Amino acid sequence: MMNTGKDILYASKVILEGKLVAFPTETVYGLGANGFDPEAVVRIFEAKKRPSFDPLILHIGNIGDLEKVYEKPIPKLVTDLAARYWPGPLTIVGRKSSLVPDVVTSGLPTVGVRMPGHKIALELLKLAGVPIAAPSANLFGRLSPTKSAHVREQLAHVDYIIEGGKSTIGIESTIVAVIDKTIEILRPGAITANQIKIDFPGIEVRVSNTEDHIQAPGQLKSHYSPVKPLYLVDKEPDVLPDNAGLIVFEPESLTGNYNNRVAILSKKGDLIEGASKMFAALHDFEADINVKVIYAIKVREEGIGVAIMDRLKKGAFRFSDKSADI
């Protein structure tokens, strides 16, 4: 049985003993270890079955910790991004300091850093007093967890799980790299490219084309994947097999009267609400023995729709050789 509870002080001690703590953030649950303790960090890779070439991000609880994790001088654009969006769902990749062990960054000279906007996560970070390395608390390549039960379903080797209810955003942070004086978006999230352009007029904001080059395994074509086939469809299917589950973000367009399991993620068709429930709906269908195949109706790639479609396409990719025609 795994150890789940709300004792943040205890959790901070577990971290300082070099063990693993799963904790809630506003994006998804993280699987944390002391980011300055290489042996503890190795345990994360083992628990997730994550390949060692896939770097981890560090979480900090104080803006003063920026100096510990990034090489000095820290570019002004990095501190400006942090000031604008932290605590919040933005991970900033910059040159790492010598204090950050190579195992965290998989040998890269850069490190991703985020100050989460979640009370429990911030308190844990403050009590532990060290940066916490934390990927999403799922097995490598699988669905991200948005509640503690999702963590227990996938991970057997976690020393303590902090119970913190549902993640409110429900989709992983936006990752940006600051390169010279430009911002490159490596992973779309709740903070959109448009938002960053509005907030940083005059700064070039590029969206990296994941087809051209792979900068990070989060940019691999297959990721965030359920164990059952996931197919993306343009509109409501005319006929749905009995053993199918259907994920709907925008129910206005829905006309069918199905016997099937239909997960309507937002009655109003609000994509921010839909994003927050997407991984939970996929987890539910993954666990439902009556569901053998999952369909999701695509959304427009605008605003948070970009992040939703990024996760859905990667989740569906390994099934894309088979036909989605029904």
Residues that bind ligand TXA (CB under 6 A): 25, 27-28, 30, 54-57, 91, 93, 105, 108, 110-112, 114, 116, 134-136, 172-173, 175, 186, 215-218
Whether the CB-CB separation of 293 and 243 falls below 8 Å is answered with yes
Question: To the nearest whole angstrom, how small is the minimum distance from the Cβ of residue 56 to ligand TXA?
Answer: 6
Q: What is the DSSP letter of 169?
A: S
Q: Of all helices (H) and strands (E), which one includes residue 21?
A: strand 21-23
Return the number of the residue (30 or 237) whose C-beta is nearest ligand TXA.
30
Which of the choices ligand TXA, Mg ion, none does residue 30 contact, using the CB cut-off of 5 to 8 A by kind? ligand TXA
Cβ(186)–Cβ(306) under 8 Å? no
30-34 vs 132-133, strand pairing mode: antiparallel
Nearer to ligand TXA, 57 or 263 (CB): 57
Nearer to ligand TXA, 14 or 175 (CB): 175
- Residues 12/18/23/28 CA torsion (nearest 10 deg): 140
Give the tokens for residue 70: 């990034």
- Work out the end-to-end distance of the chain between its first and last CA atoms, rounded to an integer number of angstroms: 42
Q: Pick what 12 binds: ligand TXA, Mg ion, none; C-beta below 5 to 8 Å, kind-dependent.
A: none
- Per the DSSP assignment, residues forming a β-bridge with 184 are 177, 206
Three-state secondary structure call for residue 217: helix
**Binding partner of residue 316 among ligand TXA, Mg ion, none, CB cut-off 5 to 8 Å per kind:** none
Nearer to Mg ion, 55 or 88 (CB): 55
Nearest distance from residue 234's CB to ligand TXA, in Å? 28
Q: Give min distance, CB of 168 to ligand TXA, in A.
A: 12
Asked if 123 contacts 224 with a C-beta cutoff of 8 angstroms, the reply is no
Site string for Mg ion, 113-152 (x = CB under 5 A): -----------------------x----------------
Residue 215, contacted partner among Mg ion, ligand TXA, none, CB below 5-8 A by kind:
ligand TXA
Question: Which of ligand TXA, Mg ion, none does 217 bind, CB closer than 5 to 8 A by kind?
Answer: ligand TXA
Cα torsion 150, 7, 24, 277: sign: positive
User: In the complex, what is the shortest distance from the CB of residue 149 to ligand TXA, in angstroms, rounded to a whole number?
Assistant: 16
Compare residues 19 and 314 and give the one whose CB is closer to ligand TXA.
314
Residue with token string 């940083």: 200
- With beta carbons less than 8 A apart as the criterion, state whether 235 and 251 touch: no
Nearer to ligand TXA by Cβ, of 178 and 297: the residue is 178
In angstroms, the CA 245 to CA 260 distance is 6
**CB 261 to ligand TXA: min, Å:** 28
Q: Which does 105 bind (CB under 5 to 8 A by kind): ligand TXA, Mg ion, none?
A: ligand TXA
Kindly tell me which of 25 and 136 has the beta carbon lying closer to Mg ion.
136
User: Is residue 154 involved in binding Mg ion (CB under 5 A)?
Assistant: no
Place of tokens 């991984």: 279
Report d(CA 36, CA 97) in Å as an integer: 11
The residue whose Cβ lies closest to ligand TXA is: 218
Q: Which of residues 141 and 237 has its CB atom nearest to ligand TXA in the complex?
A: 141
Q: How far is the CB of 72 from Mg ion (least distance, A)?
A: 29
Maximum distance among all Cα pairs of the chain, rounded to whole angstroms: 60
151 binding partner (options Mg ion, ligand TXA, none; Cβ < 5 to 8 Å by kind): none
User: In sequence order, what are the beta bridge partners of 94?
Assistant: 111
Q: Which residues contact 172 (CB under 8 A, 6 or more apart)?
A: 27, 28, 89, 136, 144, 187, 189, 218
Residues contributing to the site for Mg ion (CB under 5 A): 136
